[in-house]
Structure 1
Amino acid sequence: MAVIHHTTLKPTKTELIAGWLPGRPWYRGGPVPVLERSGGFRLDDPEGEVGIEFVVVTDSAGPERTAYLVPLTYRGAPLEGAEHGLVGTLEHGVLGTRWVYDGCHDPVLVTELLALIGGRAQAMSQSVTDTPDHEVGRSCAVAPPSLDGRMPEPADDADGTHLPLPGGTVLHVHRVPEPVAGEQPLPQPDALGHVASGWPGPDDSRLRAVFMTLRPA
């Protein structure tokens, strides 16, 4: 069970993401995003060592507000071989220095995300300890593959992040979720599995979108 510490972070997660985001190929804004945290959820690391969070941030710098999905992991030491996936470091008021990674480069996050898609893991509240997030929906028509100790190499393009998996499947992380106001979003027709959730929109609306899709390669 992940324990949520309500404490100071320097820099904040939003500040850390804002400095990293403009270099991503799927980023659609200007040189300096203006971000606000909009939502997300967590997963528990069974070993209790790695923090796993899926953060939705909204950029209000442009003429239209754009939401981005940023999976993150928090570690107490650098992850060997994942230097290219490092978002940055922050100082946690309780835990000290934390190395923050783009979670698509972290085998702990990918393993637990596949477990979530397959119904073997529970999405948890982003800000309350030991509290399930029942807004997160998932489906799976096949048994999600196991990584078997081999971390797939993520590929980023303008459409998001793609992780090739064993067994001829691909996990697509929708970095720019396409929200549907007030409706339950549906996965694409060729999807073998998916994860969807929501976040607050303007005028007290609730936006929902598919966050990840498992599909044939």
Structure 2
Amino acid sequence: MAIIHQAELQPTKLELLAPWLPRQPWFTQPGTAALHKVGSYRFDDPAGEVGIETIIVSVGRSTFQVPLTYRAQPLAGAESWLVGTMQHSVLGPRWVYDACADPIYVAALAASIMLGRPQAEQYLQNGENLELLAQTVFVRSTGPKLEAVPDVSSAAPRATDAGTAIETADLRLLVIRRLDLDEQPVGPLALTGTWEGQKDTVKLAALVMPDISAG
């Protein structure tokens, strides 16, 4: 369960992403087209300490996937993956990371694909009450479901012009950044999504585990 606070962010998430996106090897949109948020989905951190949100943005005719983690303290060793910092009017300073370098996100993504763990329900904190928010992006695993997620604490991300590969000794995840809205996802062990205006499923991430049979 993700708790969303009625808060002011300085800078906003899109303001934070605007200068960061053009520096990424998978961002291919020329010019200075404005960012538009299509929607987002979240995963749960079992410890409840790290916010995990993936934002889908459109820029011109392209659509990109941007997984982020929000932390109250810097993540050691992830300096080169820092998107920036923001001030949250309720939670205070937040360090915002490209989530592919954050082991909390990597474990959550792997659990979603491998175990079929659902995306987090989102609730708005309104005084002492929690109001269930409608999802803007719906994600699911293509299966088949496996039994366990390997240790991902040593996961090392590598950005390419196609996306971000995250590798450990036992698995390889590929997070697709520039989304193909027309290609129909095929095969098991993938995460797919839909959103308003996008009824056909879109491939968001995939898992390759050469030492584990998916049959």
* Shorter-normalised TM range: 0.7 to 0.9
| Map of 2:185 onto structure 1 | 186
- Counterpart CA distance in 1 for 2:152 and 2:204 is 24
Normalising by structure 1, report the TM-score: 0.83
Q: Distance in 2 between matches of 1:206 and 1:141?
A: 23
1:207 and 1:18, CA in 2 relative to 1: closer, same or farther beyond 3 A? farther
How far apart are 1:102 and its partner, in Å? 0.2
1:9-59 per-residue CA deviation (whole Å, 9 max, x = no partner) reads 111101111110001100011253410110120011110100000110110
Q: Any idea what the Cα deviations from partners look like across 1:152-177, whole Å, max 9, x if unmatched?
A: 1111111111112333x321101011
Alpha-carbon distance change, 11 to 144 in structure 1, aligned in 2, over 3 angstroms:
farther
Deviations 1:112-153 (A, max 9, x none): 111111235320256756668583121233637645263211
CA contact (8 A) 2:2 2:123 kept: no
Which residue, out of 173, 176, 179, partners 1:174?
176
Identity %: 36
**Counterpart residue number, 2:14:** 14
Structure 2: gaps (5+ residues): 125-130, 211-215
User: 2:93 aligned with 1:93, yes or no?
Assistant: no
Change (3 A) 1:97 1:33: farther
Counterpart code for 2:181? P
TM-score by length of 2: 0.84
The farther-off stretch of 155-164 and 30-39 is 30-39
Gaps of 5+ in 1: none
In the superposition, relative to structure 1, how do residues 126 and 72 fare at CA in structure 2: closer, same or farther (>3 Å)?
farther
Distance 2:152 2:57 in 1: 31
CA separation of 1:148/1:98 partners in 2, compared to 1, >3 Å: closer, same or farther? same
Give me the CA root mean square deviation.
2.5
Deviation at 1:8, TM superposition (A): 1.1
More deviation, 118-127/67-76? 118-127
Give 1:97-112 correspondences, 5 Å limit: 97-112=93-108
Report if aligned partners of 2:114, 2:149 keep a CA contact under 8 Å in 1: no
Counterpart-to-counterpart distance in 1, 2:150 and 2:169: 7
DSSP-derived class of the 1:100 partner: strand
Q: Which moved more, 1:128-137 or 1:40-49?
A: 128-137
Which whole-Å CA distance do the structure 1 matches of 2:132 and 2:111 have between them? 18
How many residues are matched? 203
Moved over 4 A (4+): 125-134
Tell me which residue corresponds to 1:195: 191
Q: Per-residue deviation at 1:207?
A: 5.5
Which of 190, 198, 208 aligns to 2:201? It is 208
Are 2:115 and 2:145, in contact at CA under 8 Å, matched by a contact in 1? no
Counterpart amino acid of residue 208 in structure 1: T
Matching of residues 106-125 of structure 1 within 5 Å: 106-119=102-115, 121-125=117-121
